Amino acid sequence: MGSFSDYFGVYTYRTPLIYFKVENFDSWQHREMAVKKDYFLKKFINGLNVAIFQENPVFIPDILESDTGSNTPDRGKLEKPEPEPELSLTPKFEDKSVLDDWNKENWKDLCVRLWDCARTHKWCVVQLYNKYPFWRVFTYREIFKIDYNDNDVPIKVYCKWTKTLPVAQVWNYHEEEINLVEVDASDIGKDGNINSLGLFVNWGHDVDEKSSGNDLEDVWPLSVYLRYIMNDILANSAKSSGFYWITFGSGVDDDIKDDIVNAFELCSSSHMVGATEQTIKAMEAMYPKNPEFSILAMDKVMKVFSGATGLPYLFYNGEKDTSGVFEENSSALAQINDKKREVFGQLKRYLLKLVEMRWGIVCTDVFPNITEVEGESFEEDVMDKTGSPSNDGIESELKKTRLQA
Distance CA 363, CA 70 (A): 18
- Strands of 64-221, DSSP E: 123-128, 135-138, 143-148, 154-163, 172-179, 199-202
- Whether the CA torsion 247, 249, 254, 257 is positive or negative: it is negative
- Whether the CA torsion 62, 64, 69, 70 is positive or negative: it is positive
CA-nearest of 351, 358, 356, 359 to 95 is 359
Per-residue pLDDT for the chain (405 aa), expressed as one digit of tens each?
444 444 444 445 678 999 899 999 999 999 999 999 999 999 999 999 999 999 999 999 999 988 655 343 443 444 544 544 443 334 444 445 899 999 999 999 999 999 999 999 999 999 999 889 999 999 999 999 999 999 999 999 999 999 888 998 888 899 999 999 865 545 555 555 555 689 999 998 888 877 767 789 889 999 999 999 888 877 665 555 556 666 677 777 888 778 777 777 766 555 556 666 777 677 776 666 666 788 888 999 999 999 999 999 989 987 554 444 344 467 888 999 999 999 999 999 999 999 999 999 999 999 999 987 665 443 444 344 444 444 454 555 445 444 443
Distance CA 59, CA 368 (A): 9
Q: Are 362 and 401 in contact (CB under 8 A)?
A: no
pTM of the entire structure? Answer: 0.74
Helix, strand and coil percent figures for the chain, each rounded to 5 = 40, 15, 45
User: Domain locations in the chain?
Assistant: 127-202
Distance CA 344, CA 340 (A): 6
Q: Are 288 and 299 in contact (CB under 8 A)?
A: no
Q: Are 320 and 51 in contact (CB under 8 A)?
A: no
Q: Which pLDDT belongs to residue 388?
A: 44
Q: Which pLDDT belongs to residue 391?
A: 45
Strands lying side by side in the sheet with 135-138: 135-138, 123-128, 199-202
Q: Are 289 and 404 in contact (CB under 8 A)?
A: no
The span from the first CA to the last CA of the chain, in angstroms, equals 30
Q: Are 75 and 65 in contact (CB under 8 A)?
A: yes
Q: Which pLDDT belongs to residue 182?
A: 64
